[in-house]
Structure 1
Amino acid sequence: MPNRLTGQSSAYLRQHADNPVDWQPFDDAAFAEAARRDVPVFLSVGYAACHWCHVMAHESFEDPAIGAYLNEHYVPVKVDREERPDVDATYMAATQLITRQGGWPMSAFLTPDGRAFHAGTYFPPRPAHGMPSFRQVLEAVAAAWSTRREELEQAADAVARAIAGQAEDLRTALAGAAVTVPATVLGQEDGTDPAAVALEVLLREEDPVHGGFGGAPKFPPSTVLPLLERLAAAGTAGTADRARGLLGRTLAAMRGSALFDHVGGGFYRYSVTREWSLPHYEKMLYDNAQLLRAYARAAALEPGAGHGRAAADTAGFLLAELRLPGGAFASSLDADTAAADGDVHSGEGAFYVWQRTELREVLGADRGTAVADLMGVAAGPPQPLHPGRVLDEAEQALWDAARPELTAARSRRPAPARDDKVVAGWNGMTVTGLAEAGVLLGDPSLVLAAEEAAAHLWAVHWDGSRRRLARTSHAGSAEHSIEGLLEDYAMVAEGFLALYRATGSTPWYERARELVDVVGERFSHPAPDGGPDAPERVWSDLADVPAPLLAAGTSGRADPLDDVTPAGTAVLAAVLVELWALEEDERRLRPVASLLGSLELLARRSPRSAGRALAVRAELASAPAHVVLAGGTAEDKLAARRAVGPAAVLATRVVDADAPGAPGSARGKTALGGRFTVYVCRDFACRAPVHSVAELQEQLAGTGPLS
């Protein structure tokens, strides 16, 4: 079969379309061909911004001799882990079982039905550092397939059983609802609430010197930030203070470090060092979408702390660097920069780093020296900008004056490549971040950008006739995409609801409802011991699990743990809680318990793996708040929405009762006497209706958390 990667949504796959390797996408045809020829599948998994993926491609996959050998003895399959996280997760589990390590590029050898029997990561073109060459590995596996087939089949069976066993072990552990959480140092008012227990664990895990959690490599703890923000905003007094402190320290450490691009805005994927001083220079949409939301919310929580600047700079990066024609957002920027000879792996981070002499050339001797000192650039080779702390007012002024000149100088360098693949779920998170930041930072252009991205998702990714959401698209087409995962449906629905809260436009609410209805139909079924209407459901990350993944040991059950993005089940639970609050319909809450599962054990042992689920659990303890508008003019309603202010996306839902398709919280609320009428409600009970924005402001001021 010839190479079939031309025209794929993934830039990573398209980068390999001209290889001498006859790459196939991961589909039924590829495995059928392996079965017909009775040869193994060689599965190579990577992603466009992966440095060592580029290295192995240049060294091996562009080699005609390697290509000929692969084509003769294997069916080669190439997978973008961002496009197919289901495939990546299954075979990464196999790789870790076989080798006790993992990473990308991932290289796995499969039976024609999809079971892994051998695996590794990067293989060099020649033997080095105790590693065999890639050609040696290919020859050894091919020889074993011919002469020791039964042993390989047994190994494949053992790996598949182990993968299935891992999933079952995790489900058993998470089902341990009877786990007793020990008394914490919290006051009695917190008891053993999982969110409060998780906060204590996080405080113990915090790096007290450099901020964040853990050692090197150190990743932004994006998925746990919503929990800290929720506790800081709505926890009991002691809990709120501790959460606010931890949140503020974590955000300040990241934005004052080399993890943050101080010239162009936005965050890199992670730091190689514990002190955030040396980034790995990929820039991922999913990181920046989550961090935009976190910094914008923190800016509302602690005005004047400087978080708003980081949020604005991150939004600016998204709009300038990742926004595509049509309004959607690309997946990533590469870590590498192509050198003059076209070698893409020779310049990791070259676009972003500076020599001290360069800073003096661009800014002049005195200013350049001052900026180099401020940004931690010592004499020697190019280095990242690493102030190591949040700048004070005078330092910030120095940097603000220098930044435009450095931006102009950097723009003349070769820029990193961009993966223009549009991932539905990541764009949904970006819609959420932009919509909320637009309100919280007072920047309507961000809300408009969110609307344009959401419109693209609805026009390109949503197939209304089949009621299906595509996971990926490229150049305005989702033709080559698989159906979206649970996380895609949930994250896009959450983005649409964020837009509804930011704008009051009911079509976004109605589209979110439709996505949620499809999720219930496609991604869940009743628990074995329950009837069709039982609240307990069994959830899957995939609507249809491919046969090779089932053979490899995956069950298709939803993964309840956060990774670099929150678990799809947790996001869906958050969406259902939001719909419950908007619609005042208890039926929306029925699936939430099965989506969140038992959080006591995770709160105690690994809260960073369940940050979003714990945040949803904490939100359920808060009474829903609404401001419902009826009658009056468009200007009246706009003034009322402005009076609610940031609370419109943080704590209070502003609902226009006159809008077609308004949610259930507007039911029965009319314009009394034909006059503009405002209802301020909490926990499904309303205060006396008022008829002016001034009266609304008085009621908001008297209701505490509503404002």
Structure 2
Amino acid sequence: MANRLANESSPYLLQHASNPVHWRPWDAASLEEAVDADKPIFLSIGYSACHWCHVMEHESFENAAIADYLNEHFISIKVDREERPDLDQIYMNAVQMLTGRGGWPMSVFLTPQLKPFFGGTYWPPTARGGMPGFDQVLRAVMDAWANRRAIALEQSEKFAERLQEIGQAEDSGEAIGIELLDQAYRYLESIYDFRDGGFGGAPKFPHTMDLEVCLRYSRRKPESHALEMVVHNLDQMARGGIYDHLGGGFARYSVDAEWLVPHFEKMLYDNALLTGIYVNAYRVTKRADFARVARETCDYVLNYLTDESGGFQSAEDADSEGEEGKFYVWSRQEIIAALGEIRGYRFCEIYDVSESGNFEGHNILNLPQSIEAWAAAKNVDAVELRSELDADRAKLLHLRDERIRPSKDDKVLTSWNGLMIESLAQAAGALGEPKYLAAAERAADFLFDTMLDPNGRLLHSYRQGVAKLAAYLDDYANLANACITLYEATFDDRWLDRAIDLSNLMIRHFADPAGGGFYFTADDHEQLIARNKDLYDNSVPSGNSMAAVVLLRLSALLGNTDLLDEALTAMRVAAPLMKKHPTATGQMLTAVDRYVGPAREVVILGDPESGDTRDFLAAYRQSYTPKSVIACVSPGTTPEEDAPLAPIFAGKSPLPDADGTVFICENFACQRPVTAKEAVANLGS
């Protein structure tokens, strides 16, 4: 018998629709039921690709005795954290206060007034390994509710007050300068693993935003180890098992320090962010292998995570056929049978495939040394070897695609799509791949056609024809940022107009005019027990940091100092956190890098599709210019006086007989105009 989740659209909620637990969604009816019944709420938050969420479901939520106890004593509510990140933020803060750590599945017990009084993450069904059993936890919570309710309520009030305080960071008034970047770099260098790559020990996450901070810092301080750290880290990940050497794309994280054994789930946001850092590393180093990884990761998303409507889907699971990683691993015999003895043995040697295996008796493909290093050691031609290995990998991918794939979370989230659109648009120019720009524009068009409510406000989630849930700060900020990049990739004014509209809505509904910065939820959002300011990067950039980046970019393009002031205030709100927790504020540090400058406005009068202007734009897009904005119009089509871009083009005329004229302005001063051909030599950060 289905419970109340059967009518939901979230794949995660639908996974639990046949549990014997009488799950309810988070809605008004469920919350009223808790008040009317005077029962505590058991709130379980997870997501579809979460391995331990699946484990707890099978062990506890499909357990008849546990389900009966939950149904009798609790109002059980199941939430997809990706649909409701607002709830996830609030109650994750509570769990971290209660236990000192967090994670998913998140299990929180609330009063009918939605205030937490106990919580944790995963519990086994019965006590084992020093952990209490979920059955014991439920009885203890119910005993406290029945016999010591006054204490539980007092504790819940204290937690609620603390949660409200956490969300109220205000303008610190601190100066925003290069010292923040120096301090952040010193800390990142101090925790960097110069042997295996990555920041800190196992488990290891990609830390793309920290890598971007280092890449930018390497331009300021070439004598530092910043570029060395980025290149080393990207090398180690691309050779490790965290990277899918057949289908492209990256798994969520590595459970070991060497990047060998991934947690096999693949998330859209990770692959969006990793595409971006590999593209930028290619721009700096011109290394073909970084371009290849970026291209293969984009292709993975286009081939396996793209909805028929053009939007990008959320994730592929870690498990297939009930076993983590089964889809991805190989035996030596399978590979030799597929490739033949000569090519098969060679492939196994290069990709670390053995009889005994490197993962629970099976093999995760990885490269202990680069293909070029192997070729040099064997005195074979590296180009020919790579070509043959490409054919081998294509054959193995075809065989793997015939296996039972991991389940997919096919919902389309506005915020994550914004990240992917941005990276595809960047990759298109840097790699010379027009199909990536076409896919980015198609996805953006889908969002604007489908993910707006009747009032023109963004929606957060879409699946199978249904768009729903009021958008959050990062939906607006990520999509606005993507639209600016689409404008710079196409010079189509509609993208800039959309970025401006989104930014205006973001300021109107999310900004805190008194304390500065932005709330995660809008001013007319559902009333919750706290309203947070999203300042910490997690697996995705914080909403405030992306808002600051957007406002800085728009300010430079539009000549609007009000937007600059909004961005500066957001940075000052986050300044104490940037000093204390640089690894949790990487995206805001990139905003600081842009703000500190020197920032450039590149203005072009020329036809972007032909001649020297086209050649300049190709060179510009292959260069690493993270603090620049660029605008272009064909000669004779200068914007109207009241157009958004009128200020940046004001007073600019083409040089006589020039096939494109380029104006470069830096720190409120403009250099003399040069021809597009001359400008290629002036490119830089």
Could you state the TM-score of these two structures normalised by the residue count of structure 1? 0.87
User: Could you tell me which residue of structure 2 aligns to residue 539 of structure 1?
Assistant: 518
Q: How does 1:59-70 map to 2 (within 5 A)?
A: 59-70=59-70
Corresponding residue for residue 458 of structure 1: 448
Q: Indicate which of 216, 235, 240 corresponds to 2:220.
A: 235
Alignment partner for residue 570 of structure 1, among 545, 567, 573?
545
Q: Structure 1: how far apart are the matches of 2:207 and 2:214?
A: 11
Q: Is the counterpart of residue 475 in structure 1 residue 450 in structure 2?
A: no
Distance, in Å, in 1 between the alignment partners of 2:45 and 2:492 is 41
- Code of the aligned partner of 2:552: V
Shift of 1:630: 4.1
After TM superposition, the structure 1 stretch with the greater mean CA deviation from structure 2, 623-632 or 102-111, is 623-632
Aligned pairs for 1:329-478 within 5 A: 329-338=312-321, 344=322, 347-380=323-356, 381-392=361-372, 394=382, 396-397=386-387, 399-463=389-453, 465-478=454-467
Gaps of 5+ in 2: 376-381
1:614 to 589, 593, 604: 589
- d(CA) in 1 for partners of 2:320 and 2:549? 39
Q: 1:15 to 1:696 in 2, by over 3 A?
A: same
Q: Which residue of 1 is the match for residue 48 of structure 2?
A: 48
Q: Is the 8 A contact 1:501 1:648 kept in 2?
A: no
C-alpha deviation, 1:541, in angstroms: 1.0
Change (3 A) 1:229 1:61: same
Structure 1, residues 59-110: CA drift from partner, whole Å, max 9, x if none? 3323455444323322111111122222112222222333333322111111
Change (3 A) 1:117 1:605: closer
- The amino acid that maps onto 1:565 is V
| Aligned CA-pair RMSD | 2.8
**Cα distance between partner residues in 1 of 2:369 and 2:175:** 44
Which residue does the alignment assign to 1:558?
Answer: 533
Distance 1:336 1:584, change over 3 A: same
- Residue 10 in 1 paired to residue 32 in 2? no
What SS is found at the alignment partner of 1:421? strand
- Residues 147-186 of structure 1 correspond to what in structure 2 (within 5 A)? 147-164=147-164, 171=169, 175=172, 177=174
What's the secondary structure of 1:525's corresponding residue?
Answer: coil
Pairwise CA distance, 1:327:
0.8
In structure 2, C-alpha distance between the alignment counterparts of 1:120 and 1:545, rounded to whole Å: 30
Give the Cα separation in 2 of the matches to 1:121 and 1:579: 41
Counterpart CA distance in 2 for 1:518 and 1:398 is: 52
**Structure 1 stretches lacking a partner, 5+ long:** 180-190, 339-343, 529-536
Q: Is the 8 A contact 2:194 2:229 kept in 1?
A: no
Match of 1:654 in 2: 631
User: Does 1:109 pair with 2:84?
Assistant: no
Distance 1:178 1:671 in 2: 40
Q: Secondary structure at the match of 2:466?
A: coil
Q: In the TM superposition, what are the counterparts of 1:86-101 in structure 2 within 5 Å?
A: 86-101=86-101
SS in 2 for 1:705: coil
What is the deviation of 1:277? 1.4
Distance between the aligned counterparts of 1:227 and 1:646, measured in 2?
Answer: 19
Residue 358 of structure 1 aligns with an amino acid whose one-letter code is E
Relative to structure 1, is the Cα distance of residues 39 and 654 closer, same or farther in structure 2, using a 3 angstrom cutoff? same
d(CA) in 2 for partners of 1:272 and 1:252? 18
**In structure 1, distance between residues paired with 2:588 and 2:538:** 12
Alpha-carbon shift at residue 31 of structure 1 (Å): 1.4
Could you tell me whether the CA contact under 8 Å between 2:20 and 2:62 is conserved in 1? yes
Percent identity among equivalent residues?
37
Give the partner amino acid of 2:684: P
State whether structure 2 residue 564 is matched by structure 1 residue 581: no
1:539 counterpart letter in structure 2: F
For the residues of structure 2 that align with 1:432 and 1:54, how far apart are their CA atoms?
Answer: 32
1:497 aligns with 2:484: yes
Partner of 2:189: 203
Whether the 8 Å contact between 1:24 and 1:77 is mirrored in structure 2 is yes
Structure 1: how far apart are the matches of 2:26 and 2:213? 36
Give the letter for the 1:324 counterpart.
D
* Counterparts in 2 of 1:44 and 1:643: CA distance versus 1, 3 Å: closer
Q: 1:633 & 1:619 partners in 2: Cα distance?
A: 26
Alignment deviations for residues 186-214 of structure 1 (CA, whole Å, 9 cap, x no partner): xxxxx962212222221121101101111
Taking the aligned partners of 1:424 and 1:474, their CA distance within structure 2 comes to: 12
- Note if 1:312 corresponds to 2:295: yes
The alpha-carbon distance between structure 1 residues 449 and 649, as it changes in their structure 2 partners (threshold 3 A), is: farther
The AA in structure 2 aligned to 1:307 is F
Q: Which of 252, 258, 264 is residue 281 of structure 1 equivalent to?
A: 264
- Name the amino acid aligned to 2:92: M
In structure 2, do the counterparts of structure 1 residues 221 and 648 end up closer, same or farther at CA, with 3 Å as the change threshold?
A: closer
Aligned partner letter, 2:195: V
Q: Offset at 1:114?
A: 0.6
Question: Could you say if the C-alpha distance between residues 546 and 34 of structure 1 is closer, same or farther in structure 2, counting changes exceeding 3 Å?
Answer: farther
- Determine the C-alpha separation between the residues in 1 that align with 2:178 and 2:597: 17
1:398 positional shift? 5.2
Which string of whole-angstrom CA distances, capped at 9 and with x for unpartnered residues, describes residues 259-286 of structure 1? 1111110011000001111110010111
Moved more, 106-115 or 676-685: 676-685
Q: TM-score, normalised by structure 2?
A: 0.90
For 2:108, give the aligned amino acid: A
Moved more, 623-632 or 70-79: 623-632
Decide whether aligned partners of structure 1 residues 623 and 175 sit closer, same or farther in structure 2, where only a CA change above 3 A counts: closer
Deviates more, 1:381-390 or 1:488-497: 381-390
User: CA separation in 2, counterparts of 1:2 and 1:356?
Assistant: 44
For 1:254, the aligned partner's letter is M
- The change in CA–CA distance for 1:68 and 1:451 in structure 2 (over 3 A counts) is same
2:472 corresponding residue in structure 1: 485
Change (3 A) 1:601 1:305: farther
- How far off its partner does 1:422 sit? 1.0
Give 1:29 deviation, angstroms.
2.6
Q: Helix, strand or coil: the match of 1:215?
A: coil
What residue is the counterpart of 2:378 in the other structure? none
Q: Equivalent residue of 2:333, what SS?
A: helix
- The correspondence for 1:323, drawn from 300, 306, 311, is 306
The reply to whether residue 522 of structure 1 matches residue 509 of structure 2 is: yes
Closer/same/farther in 2, CA of residues 235 and 369 from structure 1, 3 Å limit: same
> Partner letter of residue 239 of structure 2?
G
Superposition deviation, residue 166 in structure 1: 5.2
Shift of 1:548: 7.0
CA distance 1:206–1:677, shift in 2 (3 Å): closer
Check 1:630–1:20 CA distance in 2 against 1; reply closer, same or farther (3 A cut). same
Q: 3-state SS of the aligned residue for 2:235?
A: helix
How many Å apart are 1:374 and its aligned residue? 1.7
Deviates more, 1:439-448 or 1:200-209: 200-209
Residue 609 of structure 1: how far off its partner (Å) = 1.2
Q: Deviation digits for residues 570-591 of structure 1, max 9, x if unmatched?
A: 1111111111121122222011
What CA distance in whole angstroms lies between the structure 2 residues aligned with 1:146 and 1:210? 53
- Equivalent residue letter for 1:475: Q
> How many residue pairs get matched?
662
Q: Which of 670, 674, 678 in structure 2 is aligned with 1:698?
A: 678
Return the match for 1:302 from 263, 281, 285. Answer: 285
CA positional deviation for 1:391: 2.8
Change (3 A) 1:656 1:106: same
- When residues 626 and 526 of structure 1 are mapped into structure 2, their CA distance, relative to the original with a 3 A threshold, is closer
Partner of 2:145: 145
1:200–1:140 Cα change, 3 Å = closer
Q: Which residue of 2 aligns with 1:665?
A: 648
Cα deviation for residue 666 of structure 1 reads 2.2
Asked whether the equivalents of residues 498 and 649 of structure 1 are also in contact (C-alpha less than 8 Å), the reply is no
In 1, Cα distance between equivalents of 2:295 and 2:511: 39
SS in 2 for 1:467: coil
Whether 1:134 aligns to 2:140 is no
Deviation at 1:142, TM superposition (A): 2.9
Partners of 1:194 and 1:599 within 8 A in 2: no
Give the AA of the match of 1:28: A
2:379 maps to which residue?
none
1:140 Cα shift?
A: 3.6
